[in-house]
Structure 1
Amino acid sequence: MPAPLPAAAFPRGAFRVRDLAASGVPASRTRHPRLLRPTRGLRATEAFADVVERALGFAAVLPSDVAFSHVTAAVLHGLPLPSDLAGATLLHVMRDSARTRVRRAGCRGHRGLERRGVTTVDGLRVTSPEDTWCDLGELLGPALTWTDLVVAGDAVVGRLPAGVATLSAVIDRRRAPRGAVTLQDAVAAVRPGVRSPMETRARLVVVGAGLPEPAVCAPVLDRAGTWLLEGDLVWHAQRVLAEYQGAVHASRRRRSEDAQRLGLARDEGWTVVELFAEDLLQRSRRVTTLLRLARELGADPRSLRLE
């Protein structure tokens, strides 16, 4: 009877070829047609389920001084990215400039790790959130836009004690990173305290149309100045509140809670505008929503940029 393959030491039954001899398994077994070959020196009994599993598997055969970077680091940090990028199987890995760039199937090698912070996520070496965000500037194009950078930046600054200043400092420290101008423009639009990517996109749509910038995730007060709730987009002077209603608000219980909460704001003289994804993504509904907000904010609708 053939010797069994080694017990799965890595995700999805992956194992290193070099571990076979120690397990008493002939090296010829690695050529079994049922085994996947994700990269040199690594075999797997089934496909990796996600980027985390793939990175954990590859880490077993990569040099120990490597850190995951760029899109891979962003996914590992849980930063919001366009789905095409977030689902990419190519792993970005980085080493110090003095070392040879990683060249292997399934990886895109980079150098310059000595100029970046490194942290640990799920046991993996990963570039810091702020350096990861800066590295995304190298990927600007159809798959990653200025808006995507702001969305990711909003997510990053919520984790940083110094907030937006940390992103600016990273760009300055790099001196001339690729995409520097767009990165600087994105930093200017990043705001701390945002709780979801669609809240960022809603703010950018509103401001991009020429309406006054709202406070984000800001307190909504009653007429006596007592706290009522925290609003997504708040115009205090006009007593207007816009709330983004994403999928987490879809259940009956959540809708009931929202109705009660927003009803209290209306009772205290606040105008409440509920926003849905279609209000941002479909042009006709976007125009209608912006015109409604302009009316409530006392803005001239003729001055709006509606394209």
Structure 2
Amino acid sequence: MTAAQLHGFPLPWFYDEIKTIHVTRPAKSAQIRRKSVIGHSNALVSNDIMLIEDIPVTSPERTFLDLSALLSLDDLVAVADFLICEHDRAFEPPKPPVVSAEKLRAYVLNRHHVRGLVKARAALDLMRVGVDSRPESRLRLILQRAGLPEFTTNYAIPGDPEVWPDLACEEFKASGQYEGEIHQTPQKQLYDRNRDERTAERGWLQVKVYKADMRRGEAYVVQMFKHALRAQGWPG
């Protein structure tokens, strides 16, 4: 968990409050026993370890695998989305992934007899490139579980300039946006207004989801998208 925090992984809010340090030593070594320290022993290979400001920590791939024994599947998918996220969009500098999807998949699939491995492999099937935040991951999974037409990530609505929604259903020209706190700044609000206008001009119907909507539950959020899809011709 300490490595995940140092790597900046998106974790459930209560993990941000944890002040305990987790220390892993080689397999069969005596575990550290100190106040506010939890000791672990594990069989790590050299490429499982890296340095962050001269502090040895487990690599992003290994840390993801370790988290699979602790997190729910949805939260683990959010971590995977964070690791593989990459963009190459005209309005911002290119964003490389922390770990490519191919590398993360190969790492997990080549491991055996690890706690949480089944969940980690399930997360590989659900992760998607282009997700910018944990709430976006959760929103996508909610819609997928509801059996709605597929909403994809990293999709550009054609035009000049292109519009990049968080989620896009090309078949019915419906898109989804999670409006987090970053959208409350004046500069971002102006950008969002232009985005909204361009989305509508191109025949797309946009659903904006706020934190308050998510608190009302999955069924409420799904209904928001069902209304939009039906308005765009979805017969479901």
TM-score scaled by structure 1? 0.67
Q: Tell me, in whole angstroms, the C-alpha distance in 2 between the residues paired with 1:92 and 1:154.
A: 24
Q: Which runs of 5+ in 1 are unaligned?
A: 1-70, 302-307
User: In structure 2, do the counterparts of structure 1 residues 96 and 160 end up closer, same or farther at CA, with 3 Å as the change threshold?
Assistant: farther
User: Is structure 2 residue 144 aligned with structure 1 residue 214?
Assistant: no
What is the total number of aligned residue pairs between the two structures? 224
| 2:2–2:22 contact (8 Å) kept in structure 1 | yes
User: Is structure 2 residue 105 aligned with structure 1 residue 168?
Assistant: yes
User: Is structure 2 residue 177 aligned with structure 1 residue 243?
Assistant: yes
User: In structure 2, do the counterparts of structure 1 residues 177 and 299 end up closer, same or farther at CA, with 3 Å as the change threshold?
Assistant: farther
- Number of the residue aligned with 1:151: 78
- Number of the residue aligned with 2:202: 268
User: In structure 2, do the counterparts of structure 1 residues 86 and 162 end up closer, same or farther at CA, with 3 Å as the change threshold?
Assistant: closer
Instruction: Give per-residue Cα distances to partners, 1:211-264, cap 9 Å, x unaligned.
Output: 122221321113xxx542211101223222211111111123322221112201
Q: Tell me, in whole angstroms, the C-alpha distance in 1 between the residues paired with 2:201 and 2:234.
A: 24
| 2:142–2:222 contact (8 Å) kept in structure 1 | no
Instruction: Give per-residue Cα distances to partners, 1:94-153, cap 9 Å, x unaligned.
Output: 1222533323222221222523511122331110111101001222xxxx3111101111
Instruction: Give per-residue Cα distances to partners, 1:62-111, cap 9 Å, x unaligned.
Output: xxxxxxxxx11100000011122232122111122253332322222122
Matching of residues 249-260 of structure 1 within 5 Å = 249-260=183-194
User: In structure 2, do the counterparts of structure 1 residues 105 and 162 end up closer, same or farther at CA, with 3 Å as the change threshold?
Assistant: closer
User: In structure 2, do the counterparts of structure 1 residues 218 and 258 end up closer, same or farther at CA, with 3 Å as the change threshold?
Assistant: same
User: Is structure 2 residue 43 aligned with structure 1 residue 88?
Assistant: no
CA RMSD of aligned residues (A): 2.2
- Number of the residue aligned with 1:97: 27
Q: C-alpha displacement at 1:281, in angstroms?
A: 2.6
SS of structure 2 residue aligned to 1:243: strand
Task: Return the structure number with greater relative CO, CA threshold 8 A, min gap 6.
Answer: 2
Q: Tell me, in whole angstroms, the C-alpha distance in 2 between the residues paired with 1:264 and 1:287.
A: 24
Q: Tell me, in whole angstroms, the C-alpha distance in 2 between the residues paired with 1:234 and 1:121.
A: 36
TM-score scaled by structure 2? 0.85
Matching of residues 1-307 of structure 1 within 5 Å = 71-97=1-27, 99-115=29-45, 117-139=48-70, 144-158=71-85, 160=97, 163-222=100-159, 226-283=160-217, 285-296=220-231, 298-301=233-236
Give the counterpart letter for 1:136 in structure 2. Answer: L
Instruction: Give per-residue Cα distances to partners, 1:251-305, cap 9 Å, x unaligned.
Output: 233222211122012112222221212222313642431332441454454xxxx
Q: Tell me, in whole angstroms, the C-alpha distance in 2 between the residues paired with 1:100 and 1:249.
A: 49
| 2:26–2:42 contact (8 Å) kept in structure 1 | yes
User: In structure 2, do the counterparts of structure 1 residues 112 and 296 end up closer, same or farther at CA, with 3 Å as the change threshold?
Assistant: farther
User: In structure 2, do the counterparts of structure 1 residues 135 and 91 end up closer, same or farther at CA, with 3 Å as the change threshold?
Assistant: same
Larger radius of gyration: 1
Q: Tell me, in whole angstroms, the C-alpha distance in 1 between the residues paired with 2:97 and 2:202.
A: 35
Q: Which runs of 5+ in 2 are unaligned?
A: 86-95
Q: Tell me, in whole angstroms, the C-alpha distance in 2 between the residues paired with 1:219 and 1:227.
A: 10
Q: Tell me, in whole angstroms, the C-alpha distance in 2 between the residues paired with 1:233 and 1:156.
A: 18
Instruction: Give per-residue Cα distances to partners, 1:7-35, cap 9 Å, x unaligned.
Output: xxxxxxxxxxxxxxxxxxxxxxxxxxxxx
